[in-house]
C-alpha cells in the first residue's frame, strides 16, 4: 500500500517587521508556505543552515553596506532561489543580480500578484535544482 504525505514548503523573509508581516501573511495563506521572518541577514543565515528553506524573499536594504557581496554570501550558503525587493538599484547591481542567479527582483512599488507568480516560478526552480553546489561569483 502506497503512503501519502504532505510536504510543507518553507520560506524565509528578510525584511523589517511590517513588510515581513504583510508578505508572510499573504503568501502563507495563498501558497501554503510556512514563512520564517528575520530583520537581519545573519539570523536568516543561521536559520537556513538548519532548516534548508525552499525560497527566500529579501528586502535588499537588509544586506546593508555588504550589498551585493553579502547577497552573494547568502546565496552561496542558503542554496535556494532568492527574490529581492529593492528601492533604487544601479545598473551594476542589476547586472550582479543576474550573475548571482537572483530569481527575481522588484524595484519600487509592485503588485503582490507579481510576487506570487515569482514565488511559483522559484518553487518550481527549487524542485529542479535541488541543493545546488553552484557558488555565485561577484564581478567588479
Q: Tell me: the pLDDT tens digits for 47-74?
A: 999 988 999 999 999 998 889 999 999 9
Residue 122 included in any domain: yes
Which CATH number goes with the domain that contains 84?
3.40.50.2300
Domain range enclosing 65: 9-127
Taking CA atoms, 64 is separated from 3, 59, 61, in Å, by 46, 10, 5
User: Is there a domain that residue 48 lies in?
Assistant: yes
Is 59 within the bounds of a domain?
yes
Residue 140: per-residue pLDDT: 52
For residue 63, report the phi and psi dihedrals to the nearest 5 degrees: -80, -10
pLDDT at 128: 44
Sheet containing 104-107: order of strands:
33-38, 9-14, 55-59, 82-86, 104-107
Low-confidence ranges of the chain (pLDDT < 70): 1-8, 126-140
Asked if the structure places residue 86 within a domain, the reply is yes
Residue 102 located in a structural domain: yes
Per-residue confidence (pLDDT) for residue 131, from 0 to 100 = 41
Give a yes or no: residue 138 inside a domain: no
- 80 close to 48: Cβ distance less than 8 angstroms: yes
pLDDT value, residue 134 = 45
Q: Is residue 49 assigned to a domain? A: yes
pLDDT at 130: 44
pTM for the model: 0.81
Q: Is residue 1 part of a domain?
A: no
Count of the separate structural domains present in the chain: 1
Amino acid at each position: 500500500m502506497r503512503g501519502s504525505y504532505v510536504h510543507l514548503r518553507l520560506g524565509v523573509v528578510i525584511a523589517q517587521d511590517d513588510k515581513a508581516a504583510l508578505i508572510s501573511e499573504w503568501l502563507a495563506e495563498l501558497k501554503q508556505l510556512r514563512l520564517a521572518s528575520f530583520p537581519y541577514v545573519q539570523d536568516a543565515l543561521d536559520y537556513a543552515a538548519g532548516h534548508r528553506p525552499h525560497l527566500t524573499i529579501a528586502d535588499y536594504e537588509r544586506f546593508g553596506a555588504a550589498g551585493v557581496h553579502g547577497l552573494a554570501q547568502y546565496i552561496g550558503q542558503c542554496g535556494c532561489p532568492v527574490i529581492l525587493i529593492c528601492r533604487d538599484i544601479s545598473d551594476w547591481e542589476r547586472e550582479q543580480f543576474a550573475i548571482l542567479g537572483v530569481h527575481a527582483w522588484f524595484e519600487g512599488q509592485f503588485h503582490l500578484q507579481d510576487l506570487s507568480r515569482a514565488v511559483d516560478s522559484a518553487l518550481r526552480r527549487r524542485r529542479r535544482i535541488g541543493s545546488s553546489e553552484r557558488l555565485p561569483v561577484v564581478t567588479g
